[in-house]
Chains A and B, each alone.
Chain A
Amino acid sequence: MAEQNNEELERMKEDLEDIEMYLQEFSAFLPLSVCSVNPIGVVISVNSAFENVSGYSALDSTGKRVEDFFVETEEVKAFLGETRESKNFTESKQVTLLSKSYGKRTVDLTASRRSDREGDFIGFFVGINDITELTDLQNRLEDKVAEQTQDLLLRTEELERSRREIMLALSNVEEERNKTFSLVMNLSDGLVYTDVEGNIEMINPQAEALLRVNHKEVLGTAVFASSASDRFQKLSASLNKDRGLEREVIEFSEDLVAEVSTVSINNEKGELVGRVIVLHDISKDKALDNLKVEFISVAAHQMRTPLAAIKWAFEILLSSDDEKIAPELKRIVENGFESTNRILKIVNNFLDVDAAETVNSDYVFAPVNVQKVIEDVFSGVSIAAREKRVELLFENQDQVLPYVQADQERLGMIFQNLIENALKYTIKEGTITVKAEARPRDLLISVTDEGIGIPVQEQKNIFSKFFRAENAKKTETDGNGLGLHTTRRVVERHGGAIWFESVEGQGTTFYFTIPLYNK
């Protein structure tokens, strides 16, 4: 019997050891970190997972207060207090574990109440689930979402700002468009806007009136081939398909003379997007000019004969024997002779204007060698140029230029006026450059100086009769304001055009065209 009891005890002992080994292995395998805690919160035992996550060995952990493993000590104590009162598992709580190996780890804390056979409270099982990676991932995701939300907000703000700016810009554009439209519609000059192909896109009321057309008839039609009215036909005939025209005075009818110019419209890239044809009614100016010309013509003719007689009288006196005239009187006679000569020169200038503006005056058109004309003019002004240390330069000296169809004497006058002006308004030193460029239908000639230039506000009047710019008056008191006016009339009588570019204080370039001689 005693032997049976011993065998039974031995078997029970082996079973107990097997169970203990099983429990130890199970505890070691269990991935959840678990510790056993006594009723006052002291850790009694821990499993391997707890040792790993806390970084404390079982011996180090045992005897420590469980809340000391966490940052939130009071919260953990309160949590265990709730667990003690609860019959079931309490909900998990997220706290921060102070791991000896890994530092602060975010963990889910769970706890269950333990009781003995009699139901008396004997402590807790506390579980720790390391959710640091999960929390970090969640935080990163939240940060990312927050960042993207912020980015989205910024972009939305930017878009809203852009929208407001665009609306403002549109409003400004609309306002500008209205202003421009109003300006165009009320402009005293006629305006015709065409696209690149020359199709009319806009015509203002003044242009309608000047050309005697209705916008409904001409919008969308080609400006180069319009026959909407006689006047429009004249305009079309004058326009060049490639360049329009630079500037031309067109006599549309007896009561309408207009200065017509074309302005190219380019976009930001410099590409041609359209043209504006400007019709400036100069009928009144023309009539006034005619009156002036008539007056000048009459006055000049009336004055030339008496002046010639006076000059003749002075010449007689001066050519007589010196002894018969007292020296003092002779000096007076000489002064009178010089003054009479100057007056005669002015009168002759007036008569040149008259001749230039008289359509049927005696122009003799023939093939003319421009190089010869330029050389003659250079020769005539060379002394004065040397005195002012001004260099005269003809860039096409060694080229063969085509002949032009011109009145040689009056072509010489054009060069004479432009080069004399250039010399007159170059204060001292500098270069006067004459350049010629043969084009399909004409010769484009430029005269460039490094003189005083023409003030911007006075440029529009520079071809007007008797007009002299303020800075020109100060520089050169002698002048009648007829030179450029006469020059333009002569150029236009040749079928050419004249214009200029000038920067005050830097110089001026005059351009003019003369038709080529057509065999």
Chain B
Amino acid sequence: MTDAFLQNDTLFPRVSTRENLLEEVKKALEWDRGHVLGISLKNDSLKAIEKKAESSNAEDKINGVFADLGFDIHISALAPHSWYPAGYGPAIYLVSAYLFGWDKDDIIDLGRISTRGTMLMKVVMRLVSMEKTMELAPKIWRKYYDFGELRPIEYSEEDSFAVFQVVGYDVHPISEPYHCGYFSGVVELVTGSKNTQTEAVKSVYRGETYSEYKISW
């Protein structure tokens, strides 16, 4: 299950040094055109990081790195139903990649694992069928983000693929592999497929006006 990410891997941020990390986190946190719901950060992403890193104190480590970088971000203090700057998510992925030496595929995997713990998404989307998922996708986006849009474009049950567009979201390039994995994870939950791939056929990070993802299974 290799999700295609960016056509040009060089866009994946370099976070192997503290300086690189600080620069990338700053970029993420400086983005100020929208917010994300706390449940997405605290419940979904954090659980997935702990699982993937096989570390029960990942939260403490992440908090420690933020403190070291000079950011007052404490994951435990995040309220599930409060809104936070949209850059918090990518910032957490960046620190995790720095801490655990993750590459692009690891971030895709992280996105996929995140769907396993998303109670709200499961409740809202119900995950009963791809048709229903396509129908409810814009609604679930708005549950998580107060900006941007998730648009269902195309779905073929016969050919086993679906196409979504993400419009108005360009917080940080590391979000793209995360979203690829996330879309794959949702489709796996709905279809039971074990061989799902998501490709970013268009990307705002390559200069296009929106991102477009094709999910195949």
Q: CB within 8 Å of B: which residues of A?
A: 13, 16-17, 20, 36, 38-42, 44-45, 57-60, 62-63, 65, 116, 120-123
Contacts and interface: CB of A to CB of B under 8 A. Distances in A.
B192 A44 contact: no
Contact of A39 (B48, B79, B119, B129): B129
Q: Do most interface residues of chain A lie in helix, strand or loop, or is the interface mixed?
A: mixed
A80 to B, nearest CB: 13
Contact of B51 (A40, A57, A65, A121): A57
25 contacts: A13-B81, A13-B82, A16-B81, A17-B81, A38-B126, A38-B128, A38-B190, A40-B191, A40-B192, A42-B127, A44-B127, A44-B189, A45-B122, A58-B116, A59-B51, A59-B113, A62-B115, A62-B116, A63-B116, A63-B188, A121-B128, A122-B126, A122-B128, A123-B126, A123-B128
Contacts of A123: 126-128
Contacts of A65: 192
A39 B128 contact: yes
A20 B42 CA distance: 14
Nearest to B48: A59
B179 interface: no
Contacts of B119: 20, 45
Contacts of B191: 40, 42
B168 interface: no
Given A20-B80, A42-B188, A120-B128, 18 more contacts: A17-B80, A17-B81, A20-B119, A38-B127, A38-B128, A39-B129, A42-B190, A42-B192, A44-B189, A45-B119, A45-B122, A57-B51, A59-B47, A62-B115, A62-B189, A63-B115, A116-B126, A122-B128
B177 interface: no
Contact of A41 (B126, B188, B192): B192
Contacts of B116: 58-60, 62-63
Q: Which residue, of B51, B116, B119, B122, has the highest number of chain A Cβ atoms within 10 A?
A: B116
- The size class of the interface chain B forms with chain A is 20 to 34
B34 interface: no
B148 to A, nearest CB: 21
Contacts of B48: 59
Contacts of A38: 126-128, 189-190
A123 B119 CA distance: 15
Contacts of B80: 17, 20
Contacts of B117: 58-59, 62
Contacts of B189: 38, 42, 44, 62-63
A242 to B, nearest CB: 101
Interface in B189-206: 189-192
B185 interface: yes
Nearest to B39: A20
Interface string B101-126: 00000000000010111010010001
Contacts of B185: 63
Closest 3 CB pairs of A and B: A62-B116, A59-B116, A42-B192
Nearest to B52: A59
B53 to A, nearest CB: 12
B157 to A, nearest CB: 13
A60 B51 CA distance: 9
Contacts of A17: 79-81
A43 to B, nearest CB: 9
B98 to A, nearest CB: 22
Nearest to A123: B128
B198 to A, nearest CB: 15
Most buried by A among B51, B113, B188, B192: B192
Nearest to B38: A17
